[in-house]
């Protein structure tokens, strides 16, 4: 008989992932124990191993879930228009997607060092896929003549760092609304990429 929706296993799996992400972001991967995660989820420590192989798997899953969701969301946007328009679309998308996932973004940067070499390579490959999406826009812009950057690879890294940086300082209810911040960043991104006005 199939499990009913809302069965214990279907609730515990997502709750475990959400809890691990939150605790890793708050205390750091190395400082969090499986026992502590189990207590927060509300199961016995031994029961965790029905859902995950080990703590490393929880970290890897958190990081790969984040990167896969990012890639899928971007591909679903499938922006039209010339490279300048698509670059603007990318900037707005990147800010919005990351603003809603502060813990995952923090972990993605901070806990790379705690991945096994194999898992590190797999996350690196996912990141490269996302970077390639932006780089292809910059390349198209060079070809069309709508964008001018001295090096598409470096411009990709520079623009992603600039846009992700919003997460380190933006707080809802501050001096500027989220929309206004987005507009200002779009302006700077287009300028940095030498967009013809």
Residue 148, by phi and psi: left (phi above 0), alpha (psi -120 to 50) or beta? beta
Q: Which is nearer to a copy of itself, 30 or 50 (CB)?
A: 30
Q: How far is the CB of 162 from a copy of itself (least distance, A)?
A: 4
Residue by residue, what is the 3-state secondary structure of 20-31? HHHHHHHHCHHH
Taking the least distance from each CB to a copy of itself, the nearer of 50 and 102 is 102
Nearer to a copy of itself, 43 or 160 (CB): 160
> Which parts of this chain interact with a copy of itself (CB under 8 A)?
26-31, 109-110, 113, 149-151, 153-155, 157-162, 164-166, 168-169, 175-176, 181, 183-185, 187-189, 191-194
Query: CB of residue 16 vs a copy of itself: minimum separation in angstroms?
Result: 21
| Minimal distance, residue 111 CB to a copy of itself, in Å | 9
CA atoms within a 13 Å half-sphere pointing along the CA-CB vector of 160 = 17
Whose structure tokens read 């919003």?
Answer: 166
Shortest gap between Cβ of 11 and a copy of itself (angstroms)? Answer: 29
Q: Given the complex with a copy of itself, which of 109 and 118 has the nearer CB atom?
A: 109
- Three-state SS for 156? helix
From the CB of 169, what's the least distance to a copy of itself, in Å? 5
* Choice between 12 and 83, CB closer to a copy of itself: 83
- Helices of type H across 28-116: 34-41, 55-77, 83-99, 102-110
Please list, residue by residue across 122-151, b when 16 or more beta carbons sit within 10 angstroms of its beta carbon and e when fewer do.
ebeebbeebeebbbebbbbbbeeebbebee
């Amino acid at each position: 008989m199939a499990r009913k929706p809302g069965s214990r296993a279907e609730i515990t799996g997502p709750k475990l992932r959400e809890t691990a992400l939150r605790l890793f972001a708050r205390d750091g991967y190395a400082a969090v124990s499986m026992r502590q995660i189990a207590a927060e989820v509300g199961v016995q420590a031994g029961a965790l191993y029905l859902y995950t192989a080990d703590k490393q798997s929880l970290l890897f899953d958190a990081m790969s879930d984040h990167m896969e969701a990012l890639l899928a969301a971007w591909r679903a946007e499938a922006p039209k228009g010339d490279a300048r328009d698509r670059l603007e679309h990318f900037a707005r998308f990147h800010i919005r997607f990351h603003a809603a996932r502060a813990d995952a973004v923090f972990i993605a940067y901070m806990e790379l060092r705690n991945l096994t070499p194999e898992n590190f390579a797999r996350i690196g490959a996912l990141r490269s896929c996302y970077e390639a999406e932006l780089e292809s826009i910059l390349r198209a812009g060079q070809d069309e003549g709508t964008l001018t950057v001295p090096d598409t690879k470096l411009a990709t890294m520079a623009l992603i760092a600039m846009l992700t940086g919003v997460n380190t300082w933006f707080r809802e209810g501050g001096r500027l609304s989220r929309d206004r911040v987005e507009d200002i960043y779009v302006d700077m991104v287009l300028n940095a990429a030498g967009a013809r006005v």
